[in-house]
Amino acid sequence: MTATQKAPTEQPKTASDTGARPYASVNPYTGRTEKEFPFLETGEIDGVIERAHAAFQEWRKLSVEERAAIVGRAAELMTERRDEYAALITLEMGKRIQEAAGEIMLAASILEYYAKNGPRFLEPRTIDVLKGEAIVENEPVGVLLAIEPWNYPFYQAVRVAGPNLVLGNTILLKHAELNPQCALALEQVFRDAGAPEGVYTNVFLQIPDVERVIGDRRVQGVTLTGSERAGASVAEIAGRNLKKSVLELGGSDPFIVLDAEDLGKTVKAATMGRMQNSGQACIAAKRIIVTADVYEPFVEGLTQAFSTFTPGDPADPATTLAPLSSERAAQDLQAQIQDAIDKGATVLAGGKRPDHDGAFVEATLLADVTPEMRAYKEELFGPAAVVYKVADEDEAVALANDSDYGLGAAVFSSDVDRARAVADRLEAGMVWINQPTGSSAELPFGGVKRSGYGRELSELGMFEFANRRLTRVLPAKKAEKPSAG
């Protein structure tokens, strides 16, 4: 085993039997700690970075087609191992098994997309000039540190890996401490696909060692998906060391309903937009804003829909409500809900922890939420939504934009022109019309305001960590002929 793959402790135990450990697979449904992994020793970090740096020198020499073929093979292997990897996701963060399988297929589609399109995206581009020629070529920059979260443990990581491996960068992955087995599986799939040692390396870093890695002269950039607090810390370290950073942080996405010609369809979309992954998604529909004309029937339907979710084993395909990723996550969400209730919010559905073992919170729908409540400004990361009644489009836009976040948004109307007019006024990196906010390989992903900066996925995702090098060529002056004499 390498320094990043030390033997786990195999004996299962309950979380209460052990103190806080570095990286651990803790099943949020049973509370059992299945495996534990030690941190990478600080003294080993230099060697890991050096291997990634040395690998970069060779990896960049391969043709883009050769690199793309390896990434394409990783997509094939991920698809073949879908059930195995989905089970790991369900074990480590509690995602319903169908959604976990869907995540694996989405991750594989991203790798396949860059394997197919990356070489075309990276073709040199000629600039029209009056004399000579000018060419912009896309070159890799070196070793990157990717700091990734637990809520989509495969999808989030390949958003970085796909474009950057095809480009020619090498990657150090610092995954969330909840997902050690998913992190190791990702490392293995690239190795099995043919990536040389050091091209994609999992590192079980301690938080204090993150600064050490970012500051190393061989590391050329850092990308993070996570909390505002983590993003601010990473951006500060990167800025101090003059390193490029990309941040995808939190979101409190509005879901605006202007009218509902098909009420049932719109209710279903709002329910799916909020409850996918038990609400643990940065682009989930967290603030549902409905015009007065359709508010009553829409909220009645939404309340009924939320009331149908019942907790169960996420590995059972019949389960409709999975646990949150951890007991701490469940406690934090419940505290936000209780704060709103204590300050006068109306509970339309849920509002409590169910009488069920595991890190569950009921599917909760709140109304009458006001600015002094935490639920008005904070991101609710779990199965809880807030619904608001507004008079018209202007009030809907004002409420939607009254947030520190600006990741995604959705607008629903039978009049697409009306929906587009509202979408154009929203402060968001992504707006979806008549569909919940989502993600696909060909679509750029990212936000504004405190939701971060930079873009992943699509062609744009190829160039965040690329040296777009200009080569300017002028004709050589001809030597003057000597005069006859």
Report, as residue numbers or ranges, the catalytic residues. 248, 282
CA distance 240 to 82: 41
3-state secondary structure the chain: CCCCCCCCECCCEEHHHCCCCCEEEECCCCCEEEEEECCCCHHHHHHHHHHHHHHHHHHCCCCHHHHHHHHHHHHHHHHHCHHHHHHHHHHHHCCCHHHHHHHHHHHHHHHHHHHHHHHHHCCCEEECCCCCEEEEEEEECCEEEEECCCCCCCHHHHHHHHHHHHHCCEEEEECCCCCHHHHHHHHHHHHHHCCCCCCEEECCCCHHHHHHHHHCCCEEEEEEECCHHHHHHHHHHHHHCCCEEEEECCCCEEEEECCCCCHHHHHHHHHHHHHHHHHCCCCCEEEEEEEHHHHHHHHHHHHHHHCCCCECCCCCCCCCECCCCCHHHHHHHHHHHHHHHHCCCEEEECCCCCCCCCCCCCCEEEECCCCCCHHHHCCCCCCEEEEEEECCHHHHHHHHHCCCEECEEEEECCCHHHHHHHHCCCCCCEEEECCCCCCCCCCCECCEECCEECCECCHHHHCCCEEEEEEEECCCCCCCCCCCC
CA distance 177 to 22: 7
CA distance 342 to 322: 26
